[in-house]
């Protein structure tokens, strides 16, 4: 009987140690996931206008405490025919829309900003600050110029 009790006790100890190591590994993974989820999320797309010029459009969602930001920017990546001046003079429309959710609240909020830009590159930052900590942000980034347009999402 004593021998069985010793074996049982040894099994319980081994199981406890094994379960504890799995618990720590799971906790490390949770912390790693939380850190990677809190990093800004960026995406880039390429769009071609009706004249054959190409633009790289980038979008980024960012949360810092009670502040949510949606960054949208463009850069001319190819001048069709090599003519830079007329392409840089085109009006490029940028729009950033952010939809925000808060910790401890079921409600959400939305902010929007648009701007017309000229030149070889330009950017737009749509931002809003709230009374509550921001839990997540879904951003819509829009760009249009001379018949070419693109719309895409980033989230945080």
pLDDT digits (tens, 9 = 90+) for 56-79: 999 999 999 999 999 999 999 999
Distances in Å between the Cα of 124 and the Cα atoms of 1, 54, 72 are 77, 19, 5
- What is the reported pLDDT for 4? 62
> Domain containing 65 — which CATH number?
2.60.40
Residue 52 and residue 23 share a domain: no
Distances in Å between the Cα of 54 and the Cα atoms of 71, 116, 144 are 20, 18, 11
Angle at 122 between CA 116 and CA 126, to 5 degrees: 70
Residue 76 structural domain: 41-155
- What is the reported pLDDT for 24? 47
Residue 67 and residue 16 share a domain: no
Residue 52 and residue 32 share a domain: no
Q: Residue 147: pLDDT above 70?
A: yes
Residue 147 and residue 114 share a domain: yes
Residue 61 and residue 119 share a domain: yes
Q: Give pLDDT tens digits for 31-55.
A: 444 444 556 678 999 999 999 999 9
Residue 49 and residue 102 share a domain: yes
105 phi-psi bin (left φ>0, alpha ψ -120 to 50, beta other) = beta
User: Structure pTM?
Assistant: 0.73
Residue 1 and residue 21 share a domain: yes
Q: Which residue, 119, 95, 99, 118, is CA-closest to 108?
A: 99
């Amino acid at each position: 009987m004593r021998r069985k009790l010793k074996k049982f006790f040894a099994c319980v100890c081994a199981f406890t140690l094994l379960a504890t190591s799995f618990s720590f590994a799971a906790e490390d993974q949770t912390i790693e996931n939380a850190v990677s989820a809190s990093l800004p999320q960026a995406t880039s797309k390429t769009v071609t206008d009706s004249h054959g010029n190409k633009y790289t459009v980038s979008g980024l969602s960012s949360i810092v405490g009670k502040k949510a930001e949606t960054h949208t920017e463009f850069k001319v990546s190819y001048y069709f025919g090599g003519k830079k001046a007329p392409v840089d003079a085109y009006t490029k429309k940028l729009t950033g829309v952010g939809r925000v959710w808060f910790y401890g609240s079921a409600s959400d909020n939305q902010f929007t900003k648009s701007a017309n830009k000229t030149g070889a590159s330009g950017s737009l930052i749509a931002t809003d600050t709230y009374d509550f900590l921001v839990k997540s942000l879904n951003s819509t980034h829009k760009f249009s110029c001379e018949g070419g347009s693109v719309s895409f999402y980033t989230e945080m």
